[in-house]
Amino acid sequence: MPTAREVLKNKGSHVFSIGPQATAHEAALLMNEHKIGCLVVLDGGCIVGIFTERDMLRRVVARRLDPADALVGDVMTREVVCCQPDATLDDARSVIMHRRIRHLPVVDDRGRLNGLISIGDLNAWQITGQEIEIQYLHEYIHGRV
């Protein structure tokens, strides 16, 4: 069964982050620049939150806050759901689905950030696995194995 560690090994472990004292405007510019949907909020190397496109819409735009004044620490999601590197992709998908989130930080036993898995990463992994299985079955049916 594939794990979060395998996905990170394949896609890389770089995670874009921001501090809680940055503004929502700075966060939006960073997300736009890198074409990403979230930033992990780190304070002293520890995860203290996550700032997503959804946070921007619900907690900044809908409340008519000025993004240049709103601090990430005030509008971020504080309850960050994480998984460990050995978590199976089925478990990660279940957490993402049931918690209705799109990004799942991967942390080790010490709470250090190892990477980030998105719903898109899980879908891509699943599709690749299915394509391999289809190719194998096709070759089996046609006697090429």
pLDDT tens-place string over residues 37-75: 999 999 988 999 999 999 999 999 999 999 999 999 999
The whole-angstrom separation of Cα 60 and Cα 70 is 7
Q: How much of the chain, in percent, has pLDDT values that exceed 70?
A: 92
The 3-class secondary structure across 31-88, one letter per residue, is HHHHCCCEEEEEECCEEEEEEEHHHHHHHHHCCCCCCCCCEHHHHCECCCCCECCCCE
Question: Which range has highest mean pLDDT (18-32, 99-113, 124-138)?
Answer: 18-32
Phi, psi of 7 (to 5 degrees): -65, -45
Q: Checking DSSP bridges between strand 46-52 and strand 38-43, what pairing results, if any?
A: antiparallel
DSSP-derived pairing of the beta strands 113-118 and 17-18: unpaired
CATH fold of 4-141: CBS-domain (3.10.580)
Q: CA 82 to CA 116: how far, in whole Å? A: 9
- What are the sequence ranges of the domains in the chain? 4-141
pLDDT of residue 130: 60
pLDDT at position 132 is 64
